[in-house]
Structure 1
């Protein structure tokens, strides 16, 4: 049975396990990258590389948006950018999880991941789209679901990878 341990969630000066947090963000980023490729290729019938072009345009500028077919420099830039952002967002998420002990159970870490994924979706597609307007075209259910999955995968990976003695120092 999944216990949420609601009574143990108070702010405490506790840093995350940084290595576990970075790896978790990387894994969360990998999960949504695969989902985005499959979604575009199998469900929408659009180019599986269109998302890569939008991500690489963060670094390469809007010229990366002109093509939607496979292009090595664009896809390589997108991969690097996507994984760096995944790691950064994983670190941020775990900076929230650790001090509040949201890693006390699988249920709490998954709920934290859902909430973080929702917040990340709003940040990316409503905040960052002011700087990168091509992201506003990607708003919708698929992007929302992938961001929630990012949060859940990242949180679950962190829970699994985090050193146990950091999570439960009293036991």
Structure 2
């Protein structure tokens, strides 16, 4: 009895940059909504705007976190939105590149799994590696943030699959 393993090997293939960027942007929106809901309703959180202060501090410095986390500051929130969405677009591009390279974009199930793993790796990068340089993110380490990043990866992967145009005949490997 033969058991197909469906192993994927790397093959440099063109990918749809626009679809990947839009998928990353939309995945970032879903992630941000989950994080805002989590911070607004979870017991023991420090305030709805704390996350915006933490993200804005990547560019503005730790001083951005000195204001009260319950107070809305347009400059801080706007900076956080720009940073968050630029990172979402960047990570969407990486996911699209990898999905095309391993032909993961050919199968929804594979792509969902790939997106989940990508989101989990992204969580590890952001909250266990980058925390050495940005220690204020340590307070976000946990299952809720990990799940939100998995949802980001799956959302971006599925949207990429739905939005991506198939490669043209000129781009298809021989």
TM-score by length of 1: 0.90
Aligned to 2:6: 7
Superposition CA RMSD, Å: 1.7
Aligned to 1:16: 15
Unaligned 5+ residue runs, structure 1?
Answer: none
Matches of residues 65-80 of structure 1 in structure 2 within 5 Å? 65-67=65-67, 68=69, 69-80=71-82
Cα displacement string for residues 108-135 of structure 1 (whole angstroms, at most 9, x for unaligned residues): 1110001001110110011111111101
C-alpha distance in structure 1 between counterparts of 2:28 and 2:49, whole Å: 16
Aligned to 2:136: 134
Give 1:6 deviation, angstroms.
Answer: 5.3
Residues 1:55 and 2:55 are matched in the alignment: yes
Aligned to 1:157: 159
C-alpha distance in structure 2 between counterparts of 1:64 and 1:101, whole Å: 42
Unaligned 5+ residue runs, structure 2?
Answer: none
Deviating more after overlay: 56-65 vs 33-42: 33-42
The secondary structure found in structure 2 opposite 1:12 is: coil
Aligned to 1:85: 87
Give 1:82 deviation, angstroms.
Answer: 0.2
Number of aligned positions between the proteins = 164
Cα displacement string for residues 97-117 of structure 1 (whole angstroms, at most 9, x for unaligned residues): 111011111111110001001
Give 1:35 deviation, angstroms.
Answer: 0.7
Contact 2:14/2:167 (CA < 8 Å) preserved in 1?
no
The secondary structure found in structure 2 opposite 1:112 is: helix
Give 1:159 deviation, angstroms.
Answer: 0.5
Contact 1:8/1:101 (CA < 8 Å) preserved in 2?
no
TM-score by length of 2: 0.88
Residues 1:35 and 2:37 are matched in the alignment: no
Please list every run of at least 4 consecutive aligned residues from structure 1 whose deviation after the TM superposition is greater than 6 angstroms.
none
